[in-house]
Amino acid sequence: MRLLNTDFDWKPLALVPALALLALPAVGSGSTWLTLTVAGLAMGMIVFIIASGLTLVFGLMDVLNFGHGVFIALGAFVATTVLASMGSYTTADSLWLNLVALLPAMLVAMAVAGALGWVFERLIIRPVYGMHLKQILITMGGMIIGEEMIKVIWGPGQIALPLPETLRGSFIFGDASVEKYRLLAVLVGAAVFAAMVWTLNRTKVGLLVRAGVQDREMVESLGYRIRQLFIGVFVVGSALAGLGGVMWGLYQQTVLPQMGAQVNVLIFIVIIIGGLGSTLGALIGALLVGLMANYTGFLMPKVALFSNIALMVAILLWRPQGVYPVTNR
């Protein structure tokens, strides 16, 4: 987070509008382009919410959590239960009542995912600090257990997660149609990003986190217990993944126990593009991935599945450590 530095590196940030502009002539029609762009930004924002926690965890503690996906799936499944229990609110034809239903769903999902994150840190990650290989193996095991427990509780099949009444459908701007839910996703994503930037840049906790990412030993020798800080970040990261899971589930309108593993691939691509540990990098990576997926999905559906990997390869050829490499590592 070096937004205030004068030597700020603008090039990666410019990639996002550049990609959007590049797609304009390819798509041809302006209204279709607008639809796709908003859809891409919305998808990117959701992916950012999921990936932000993971990239912080890596940056601060050098822990690569392959089990991050399980918090996403858990959040989405908790949301189905909460929303189902508030049936009359979600089907009401009032935006306020719908949002009143959505808010507790998000909060409960975040709380449950955060709590699981705390357990995960204690049981799964604590014995393997500093050992990358074992981190990968043991968090993988943790994810399998989590996914299977979800199947035990909610059943192995997919569950529908319908959007609340007033969030269905789309706004029409001229010829372009913009789905209402995607606008909400952009708003939530922007709020999460703003909250993160504010916390990291304007609060003491944020200062410590940033300092910890830069030089852990120095912060420790100043007398701060960075372990406690890390557990906090891990719990917040898991809670964010839970929130992202709710958003992602509503975006897909169905939830699957395997969704964690599916999204894992996507968020790994995002944080590799962004540079492991960088929040702004994760945002840029997520937006690029979202836009790319939507443009190629429209232009060349067959290629769409590989567009993310092609994007990652191209970025890594340009900057092998990601667009905003976190230094000293």
Partners of residue 254 on adjacent β-strands: 160
Binders of another protein in range 105-134 (CB under 8 A)? 123-124, 127-128, 132-134
Is residue 318 close enough to count as binding another protein by CB under 8 A?
A: no
Nearer to another protein, 70 or 110 (CB): 70
Nearer to another protein, 33 or 298 (CB): 298
Partners of residue 173 on adjacent β-strands: 176
Is residue 95 close enough to count as binding another protein by CB under 8 A?
A: no
Q: Going residue by residue from 219 to 258, which x/- string records binding to another protein, judged by CB under 8 A?
A: ----------------------------------------
Rounded to a whole number of angstroms, the CA Rg of the chain reads 20
* Part in contact with another protein (CB under 8 A); list of ranges 79-87, 110-118, 142-150, 166-174: 142-150
| Residue 76 falls in which region: left (phi positive, over 0), alpha (psi -120 to 50) or beta | alpha
Is residue 314 close enough to count as binding another protein by CB under 8 A?
A: no
**How far apart are CB 175 and another protein at their closest, in Å?**
32
Is residue 57 close enough to count as binding another protein by CB under 8 A?
A: no
Nearer to another protein, 173 or 306 (CB): 306
Binders of another protein in range 155-194 (CB under 8 A)? 156
Nearer to another protein, 66 or 89 (CB): 66
> Which of 12, 44, 75, 142 is the binder for another protein (CB under 8 A)?
142
> Which of 312, 315, 323, 326 is the binder for another protein (CB under 8 A)?
312
> Which of 100, 107, 197, 316 is the binder for another protein (CB under 8 A)?
316
Are 181 and 162 spatial neighbours (Cβ–Cβ below 8 Å)?
no
- 96-131 burial code (b ≥16 CB/10 A, e <16): ebbeebbeebbebbbebbbebbeebbeebbeebeee
Contact residues for another protein (CB under 8 A)? 64, 123-124, 127-128, 132-134, 136-138, 140-145, 147-149, 151-152, 156, 261, 264-265, 268-269, 272, 276, 302, 305-306, 308-309, 312-313, 316, 320-321
